C-alpha cells in the first residue's frame, strides 16, 4: 500500500554519507517521516566545503558516519558557523559521551545512533521543522508538466506558464527543462543562448556554487531563469541521477516557484523530479490515442506511488467539439481537467516563430489569457488536488505503492516507459 505520510511542514534536507546503501536507506526513512524534500550526496563533510555557499538552500544537514574524526568535526564547526540557520544531525554508531560532547560543540543539534530508530529520526526532523516554522521560511513549490504523448504542447505550456507567473504573479521562477529528447523549451520563448546545460553542469558538479549556478542559467526575463536541457537524447543519457539531485536540491530554494518540463519519459532522472514535485500536470489533447496513452500513464504513475491528489489533467487545444471531448475524458480517465487551454493555432505559431512568449507575441489571444490564468492558479494553489480519479482509476494505481512496485520495477519500466537512449 502507499505509505501514509503525516501532514508536516515542508523542509529541505541534505543527507551525506560515504555509504550509498545507507544513504538510500536513510532517504526511505525520511520519506516515511513526513512531507520532507531530500537531496542525497555521496561523501563526507569535506565534500561540502567546496559547495558551502549552496548550503543556504537547505534547512537540515544529516551527516551519516560510522565514526567522525576531529578533522570532520572541525569542518562541521566551520559550516555551522557560516550557516547558523542550518540544523545539523549526526547519525553514528559511536555514541560515547566524548563523541556526543564533541558533536554538540561542533554544532550538531541531534546525535542519533545507528542502526537508526525511525521514531528518533522522526522526532529530530519534527524539531527541525518546528524551528523552520519559527523562522517563517516558506518552502518553494515545485510543479512538473508531463506529456501523455509526444507533440501535445507540454514544452510550450510549461515555458509560457513559467513566464506568465514571473511577469504577472511577481514570483521568482525557475524553469527546468528535463525533457530528455530535444529539450527546446528555452528556444520557444527566448533567443538567448544557454550558457550551460543540465548535462554540462552535471559534469562540473564540484564547481557548483552560487556564482557558478547564476552563470549557468538563462536569465530570460526579470524574475525568470531557465535551466536548459541537454539538447538531445545521447547527451541526456550522460546526466547522472545523483548529480541532478544535487542541482535540483540546491537550486529550488533560491526561487519562489520551480516548474519542470519533463516530456513523456519515465526513468530514474524523471522519477527524481517527480519525487520532488508537489503537483504533476499531465498535458493531453482530446484524441482517442492520447486518452488511451494518458490512462496508461496514470496507471504507471499510480503504481510508482504518486497519489491521485498530486495528479491533474491539462487539456490542450480545446476546440469546437469541446463538450464531447470533455465527456470522453470523464468516461475514459474518470476525472475532469484541472485547466483547459483553447485551440489558437495562429497565436501559438506566431509566438513560436518569433521565439517569444505568447504573452508578448499575441497578448490578446485566447491562449495567452488561458496560460495567464493557469499561472495564477498555480501561484495561488487554487484547485490543487481537484478532479481526482473516480471508479475508472486502475486498481494497481490505488493499491500498489512504490515499495511494492520496486519488486517488479524492471518489468514495469521495460513494458510501459519511454526511456531516452
Whether residue 387 is contained in a domain is answered as no
Co-location of 217 and 255 in the same domain: yes
Q: Could you tell me if residue 416 is inside a domain?
A: no
Q: Same domain for 37 and 179?
A: no
**Residues pairing with 177 in the sheet:** 261
34 and 91 belong to one structural domain:
yes
> Residue 167 contacts by C-beta under 8 Å, 6 or more apart in sequence?
221, 222, 223, 224, 359
What kind and span of H or E run contains 249? Answer: helix 241-251
pLDDT at position 4 is: 38
Residue 214 and residue 184 share a domain:
yes
Q: At what angle do helices 154-168 and 345-354 cross, to 10 degrees?
A: 80
Q: Identify the CA nearest to 91 among candidates 118, 128, 71, 52.
A: 118
How do 224-227 and 218-221 pair as beta strands?
Answer: antiparallel
**181 and 103 inside one domain:** no
* Spatial distance between the Cα atoms of 197 and 251, rounded to a whole number of angstroms: 14
pTM, entire model: 0.79
Label the pairing between strands 257-263 and 218-221.
Answer: unpaired
Give the end of a domain, one of 85, 105, 137.
Answer: 137
Q: Read off the CATH number of the domain in which 372 is found.
A: 3.40.50.300
| Residue from 182, 198, 178, 181 nearest 243 by CA | 198
CATH of the domain at 66: 3.40.50.2300
One domain for residues 21 and 49: yes
Alpha carbons 142 and 16: distance in angstroms, whole number: 23
Which domain range does residue 353 map to? 142-381
Classify residue 339 as left (phi > 0), alpha (psi -120 to 50) or beta: beta
Helix (H) or strand (E) holding 17: strand 11-17
pLDDT of residue 306: 92
Residues 132 and 158 in one domain: no
Q: What beta strand segments (E) does 44-141 contain? A: 60-64, 87-92, 108-113
- Predicted pLDDT at 381: 84
- Is residue 397 in a domain? no
In a domain, 398, yes or no: no
**Nine-digit cell string for 369:** 489569457
Residue-level pLDDT, tens digit, the chain, 421 residues: 333 333 457 889 999 999 999 999 999 999 999 889 999 999 999 988 877 678 888 999 999 999 999 999 999 999 999 898 899 999 999 989 999 999 999 999 999 999 999 999 999 999 998 887 766 567 899 999 999 988 899 999 999 999 999 999 999 999 999 999 888 999 999 999 999 999 999 999 888 888 899 999 999 999 999 999 998 899 999 999 999 999 999 999 899 999 999 999 999 999 999 999 999 999 999 888 899 999 999 999 999 999 999 999 999 999 877 677 778 888 888 889 999 999 999 999 999 999 999 999 999 999 999 999 999 999 998 766 544 443 333 333 333 334 444 444 443 333 333 333 2
Alpha-carbon distance 23 to 29, whole Å? Answer: 10
Name every residue whose Cβ is closer than 8 Å to that of residue 327 and which is 6 or more positions away in sequence: none
Q: Most distant CA pair in the chain: distance in Å?
A: 75
What is the SS3 assignment for 398?
helix
Residue 257 lies inside a defined structural domain of this protein: yes
Other beta carbons less than 10 A from residue 399's beta carbon: 12
Same domain for 255 and 374: yes
Same domain, 116 and 147: no
Cell of 167: 511577469
Rounded to an integer, what is the distance from CA 312 to the centroid of its chain? 16
Provide the grid cell at 178: 528535463
The kind and range of the H/E element at 347 are helix 345-354
**Contact at 8 Å (CB) between 173 and 199?**
no
Please report which helix (H) or strand (E) contains residue 311, including its range: strand 311-318
Examine residue 278 and state whether it is found in any structural domain, yes or no. yes
Which of 137, 159, 187 is where one domain is finished? 137
Alpha helix positions (H), 83-145: 97-106, 118-134
The residues, ordered by sequence, that sit 6+ positions from 381 with a Cβ below 8 Å of its Cβ are 141
Answer whether 26's CB lies under 8 Å from 62's CB.
yes
Please give the tally of structural domains in the chain.
2
Is residue 420 in a domain?
A: no
Query: Are residues 257 and 168 located together in one domain of the fold?
Result: yes
- Same domain membership, residue 119 and residue 158: no
**Same domain assignment for residues 186 and 262:** yes
Domain-ending residue, one of 102, 137, 172: 137
Is residue 3 one of the residues assigned to a domain? no
Sign, CA torsion 208/211/212/213: positive
Sheet with 36-42: strands ordered across: 36-42, 11-17, 60-64, 87-92, 108-113
pLDDT reported for residue 208: 82
**Residue closest to 297 by CA, chosen among 180, 389, 421:** 389
CA distance 322 to 358: 22
Amino acid at each position: 500500500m502507499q505509505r501514509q505520510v503525516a501532514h508536516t511542514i515542508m523542509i529541505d534536507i541534505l543527507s551525506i554519507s560515504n555509504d550509498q546503501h545507507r544513504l538510500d536507506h536513510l532517504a526511505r526513512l525520511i520519506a516515511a517521516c513526513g512531507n520532507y524534500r531530500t537531496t542525497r550526496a555521496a561523501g563526507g563533510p569535506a565534500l561540502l566545503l567546496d559547495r558551502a555557499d549552496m548550503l543556504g538552500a537547505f534547512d537540515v544537514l544529516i551527516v551519516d558516519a560510522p565514526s567522525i574524526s576531529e578533522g570532520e568535526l572541525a569542518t562541521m564547526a566551520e559550516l555551522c558557523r557560516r550557516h547558523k540557520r542550518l540544523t545539523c544531525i549526526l547519525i553514528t554508531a559511536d555514541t560515547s559521551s566524548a563523541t556526543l560532547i564533541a558533536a554538540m560543540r561542533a554544532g550538531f543539534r541531534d546525535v542519533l545512533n545507528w542502526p537508526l530508530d525511525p521514531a528518533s529520526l522522526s522526532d529530530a526532523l519534527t524539531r527541525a521543522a518546528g524551528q523552520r516554522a519559527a523562522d517563517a521560511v516558506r518552502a518553494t513549490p515545485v510543479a512538473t508538466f508531463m506529456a501523455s504523448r509526444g507533440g501535445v504542447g507540454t514544452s510550450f505550456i510549461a515555458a509560457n506558464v513559467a513566464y506568465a507567473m514571473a511577469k504577472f504573479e511577481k514570483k521568482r521562477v525557475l524553469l527546468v527543462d528535463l525533457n530528455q529528447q530535444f529539450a527546446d523549451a528555452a528556444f520557444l520563448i527566448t533567443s538567448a543562448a544557454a550558457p550551460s546545460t543540465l548535462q554540462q553542469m552535471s559534469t562540473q558538479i564540484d564547481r557548483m556554487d552560487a556564482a557558478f549556478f547564476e552563470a549557468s542559467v538563462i536569465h530570460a526575463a526579470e524574475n525568470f531563469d531557465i535551466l536548459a536541457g541537454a539538447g538531445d537524447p545521447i547527451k541526456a543519457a550522460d546526466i547522472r541521477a545523483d548529480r541532478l539531485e544535487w542541482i535540483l536540491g540546491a537550486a529550488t530554494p533560491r526561487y519562489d516557484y520551480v516548474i519542470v518540463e519533463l516530456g513523456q519519459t519515465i526513468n530514474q532522472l524523471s522519477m527524481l523530479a517527480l519525487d520532488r514535485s508537489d503537483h504533476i500536470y499531465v498535458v493531453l489533447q482530446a484524441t482517442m490515442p492520447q486518452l488511451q496513452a494518458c490512462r496508461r500513464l496514470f496507471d504507471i504513475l499510480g503504481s510508482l506511488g504518486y497519489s491521485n491528489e498530486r495528479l491533474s489533467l491539462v487539456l490542450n487545444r480545446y476546440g469546437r467539439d469541446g463538450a464531447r471531448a470533455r465527456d470522453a475524458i470523464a468516461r475514459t480517465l474518470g476525472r475532469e481537467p484541472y485547466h483547459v487551454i483553447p485551440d489558437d493555432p495562429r497565436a501559438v505559431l506566431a509566438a513560436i516563430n518569433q521565439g517569444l512568449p505568447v504573452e508578448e507575441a499575441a497578448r490578446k489571444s485566447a491562449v495567452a489569457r488561458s496560460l495567464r490564468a493557469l499561472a495564477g492558479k498555480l501561484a495561488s494553489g487554487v484547485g490543487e488536488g481537484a478532479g481526482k480519479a473516480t471508479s475508472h482509476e486502475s486498481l494497481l494505481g490505488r493499491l500498489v505503492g512504490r515499495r511494492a512496485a520496486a519488486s517488479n520495477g524492471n518489468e514495469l519500466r521495460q513494458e510501459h516507459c519511454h526511456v531516452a537512449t
